[in-house]
Amino acid sequence: MKKTGFYITLFIVCIYCIGPFLWQMISSVKPSSELTKLPPVLPHTLTFNHYISVFQGHPFGRIIANSFVVSMISTVFSLTFGSLSAFGLSKLNIKGKGLIFAFVLSISMFPPIATVSPLYLVIRALGLRDTWWALIITYTTFTLPMSIWILSSFFREIPDELYRAAKVDGCSAFQIFYKIFLPLAGPGIFATAILVFIFSWNEFLYALTFTSTTASRTIPVGIALFPGLHEMPWGDIAAASVVVTLPLIILVLIFQRRIIEGLAAGAIKG
Amino acid sequence: MTEITFEKITKHFDRVKVIQDLNLTVNKGEFFTFVGPSGCGKSTILNMLAGLEDVTSGTIFFDDMPVNDLSPKDRDVAMVFQSYALYPHMTVYDNIAFPLKMKKQQNVSLDTEVHRVASLLSLDDLLKRKPRELSGGQRQRVALGRAIIRKPKVFLMDEPLSNLDARLRVEMRAELKKLHNKLKITTIYVTHDQAEAMSLSDRIAVLYNGTIQQCGTPREVYIKPKNIMVAGFIGSPPMNFVPASVQKSAPLEVICNEMIFSPSIEILPENTNLVIGIRPEDVLISFEKSAGSIEVTVSLIESAGSFNWIDVMWHRIKVKGVSQIDERLQTGGTAFMKFPLDKVIIFDKETERRM
């Protein structure tokens, strides 16, 4: 009995989580005429027209490239600054560490909508509107608290004696960081990288505000701007969503265990 | 070889005084041990020597050079840690080579040096392994290798044997001693294990509450402990203490648990409270009565193989002593205790100092 209950719950949760995505996948291969039919089951004839039209009717290749570059560079920046600060805050003697940590955390509590207009003014003043850099800078700042918190919990788990041993062996603080701590915190770096990448890949609000052309437009905004004046191209939207979600899902499934490890370490120690 | 001098060293953590007014000279090439219970400040001394902690006041000299402001890197010290602190992501080879790589000396061949150290510590077959694939004793040897490869001025060891099992500890103790005889590098060793301190060191300093209680050769500290703390800490099993007092001032008569004797110490006023210390190995317990023996009750018999440790009740005071293997000695039975009066150490109860 207990077991049946467990499997029923498991089934409901799975459907709840995967359902929308499945629906989206099914929609992406349905002919347009059948799109609004319920229940959303596979049609008799599969069509890949939506996929073709996504790449032919829109500059979708460019948009994917934008997203990819922005997410990659943001991830690299966030990890570079994040790991350095996390190392300093968890292992070096710094006055007011607790205060700095609290401050870092408080930054991540700002709702994005509250900061979007001031940031827009800053970006415009810097002449960065509609460039990759507008998004890279914003994403880096917004993911830094997360990077710092997760990574410092990883660094804190590395025994102090290693730090002291390396110091006696003749390392400077920076050498200790990149020769000893960075390799040892590998799983943490990895988990953080994926989380930052996903955040940047999916971010919508800033991308919508700071971009205006395909020069810098990212995927979520690109898809949101699919609807024309008189029609709602559900099929195209579904196909585009599948195209950009699949890589993430594959990435997460492959590195699942590491991400959980990373998140759990942050959760328990943080 | 380097001489180390501590001059009026104090160390405070916030308002807690960890080390108070430490004055000490460690001779060139000496094996010197700080021994004391945990929390007595011995590891802090090592960290100050290594440059991992600042001193609050005072000066540390290596030979004639003050090193207070030098970073660990410039002090040319090597340290072995209790947890070994091997770099888990590096092979044994890389672990040993690491300090030398950091030093970036051009004229020495890294590879030759690593192999020289590895064969000195019989690690040749393990060079390609990672630390997690090694046993405790092997890790310990790698940690030693990492420390000696640079030929440092000073060798610091922070309880390096306390994570090993008892048998391995004794083995490694001998290895350490041999290594020191071979290398003759000034070594500062820290331990809470008095047996380790006694067997390894040229000199030891017994540390308690941040001050040196006594400093001398192991033998001196054992035979002439300066106070009750040192007497109780050095020697295993620990010394027996029995309260006593001065019954008559001249000639001096001390009454100790209803036993009266006249020790040859300075004249004391009557009713001065004393503590009598006697080492268990000097207390002989036997079944048969002999001249001058005291009747006691056996409360515990522990076998040590060739002899027995016996706890006896001497009136209401527990005393530990030794006996030959004797079937007639039984828990709860009667026995006779005897100890040479010249082995007795007398302390003042107030000051806890030896008379």
* CATH number for the domain harbouring residue A133: 1.10.3720.10
pLDDT at residue A259 greater than cutoff 70: no
pLDDT value, residue A229 = 67
Residues in chain B with CB shorter than 8 Å from the CB of A167 are 50-52, 72-73
More confident call, B109 vs B226: B226
- Measured CA to CA, the distance from residue A23 to residue A17 in angstroms comes to 11
Give residue B217's pLDDT.
94
pLDDT of res. B337? 93
- Confidence bin at B221 (pLDDT 50/70/90): very high
pLDDT level of residue B299 (50, 70, 90 thresholds): very high
Find all residues with CB under 8 Å of B214, minimum gap 6, and list them.
Answer: B205, B206, B221, B225, B226, B227, B230
Q: Is the ipTM of this complex over 0.90?
A: no
Chain B hits for A175, CB-CB cut-off 8 Å, are 102
Please give the DSSP secondary-structure letter assigned to residue A96. T
List the end-to-end C-alpha distance of chain B, in Å, as a whole number.
38
Q: How many CB atoms lie within 10 A of CB A73?
A: 18
For residue B134, give Cα distances in angstroms to A163, B81, B83, B131, B176. Answer: 21, 17, 13, 5, 19
Residues B102, A171: C-beta atoms closer than 8 Å: yes
The answer to whether residue A12 is domain-embedded is no
Dump the DSSP string for B171-186.
HHHHHHHHHHHHH--E
Which residues in B lie closer than 8 A to residue A161 (C-beta atoms)? 81-83, 85
Domain membership of residue A122 (yes or no) is yes
Contacts of B222 (CB under 8 A, 6+ apart): B198, B234, B235
Q: Does B346 touch chain A (CB under 8 A)?
A: no
| 8-state DSSP, B125 | G
Shortest CB distance from A162 goes to which of B77, B85, B99? B85
Asked whether residue B106 carries a pLDDT value surpassing 70, the answer given is: no
Q: What percent of chain B has pLDDT over 70?
A: 99
Q: How far is B230 from chain A (nearest CA, A)?
A: 30
Which chain A residues contact residue B51 at CB under 8 A?
167-168
Whether residue A136 is contained in a domain is answered as yes
Q: Chain B closest CA to A132's CA: distance in Å?
A: 37
Confidence of residue A266 (pLDDT cuts 50, 70, 90): very low
Q: Quick check: B146 contacting A, CB < 8 Å?
A: yes
Residue A22 domain-assigned (yes or no): no
Lowest mean pLDDT among A198-202, B162-166, B227-231: B162-166
Which pLDDT score, from 0 to 100, does residue A269 have? 32
**What number is the average pLDDT over the span B331-336?**
91
pTM of the model: 0.79
Taking CA atoms, what residue in A is nearest to B96?
Answer: A169
Residue with tokens 């040859």: B264
Q: What share of chain B is helix, strand, coil (3-state, %, to 5)?
A: 30, 35, 40
Instruction: Say which of A161, A167, A180 has its CB closest to residue B72.
Output: A167
For the CA atoms of B107, B112, B113, B118, what is the dihedral angle to 10 degrees? 180
| Total structural domains within chain A | 1
Question: Where is B17: in which H helix or E strand?
Answer: strand B16-26
Whole-number average pLDDT of chain B: 88
CA gap B54, B212 in Å, rounded: 20
Q: Which amino acid is at B193?
A: D
pLDDT of residue B17: 87
pLDDT digits (tens, 9 = 90+) for A48-60: 888 888 888 778 8
Q: Judge whether A124 lies within some domain.
A: yes
User: In this complex, is the C-beta atom of A165 within 8 Å of any C-beta atom belonging to chain B?
Assistant: yes
pLDDT at A145 over 50: yes
Q: Taking 70 as the threshold, does the pLDDT of residue B345 lie above it?
A: yes
- Do B238 and B254 touch, CB atoms closer than 8 A? no
Measured between alpha carbons, how far is B214 from B204 in angstroms, rounded to an integer?
8
What's the pLDDT tens digit per position in B5-29? Answer: 999 999 998 888 889 888 999 999 8
Chain segment A172-194, per-residue pLDDT in tens: 889 999 898 988 888 788 888 88
Ranking A216-225, B54-63, B98-107 by mean pLDDT, the lowest is: B98-107
> Nearest to residue A170, comparing CAs of B73, B238, B217, B288?
B73
* A168·B77 Cβ contact <8 A: yes
- pLDDT reported for residue B248: 83
Confirm whether A40 is domain-assigned.
Answer: no
Closest residue of A to B154, CA-based? A168
Locate A62 and state its tokens: 């460019």
In terms of residue numbers, what domain contains A180?
Answer: 59-269
- Give the confidence band of B311 by pLDDT, cuts at 50, 70, 90: very high
Distance from CA of A174 to the nearest CA of B (A): 13
Q: How many CB atoms lie within 10 A of CB B143?
A: 25
Does A133 reside within a domain?
yes
Q: Do B87 and A162 touch (CB under 8 A)?
A: yes
Q: How many CA atoms lie within 13 A of B310 on its CB side?
A: 32
Residue A76: inside a domain: yes
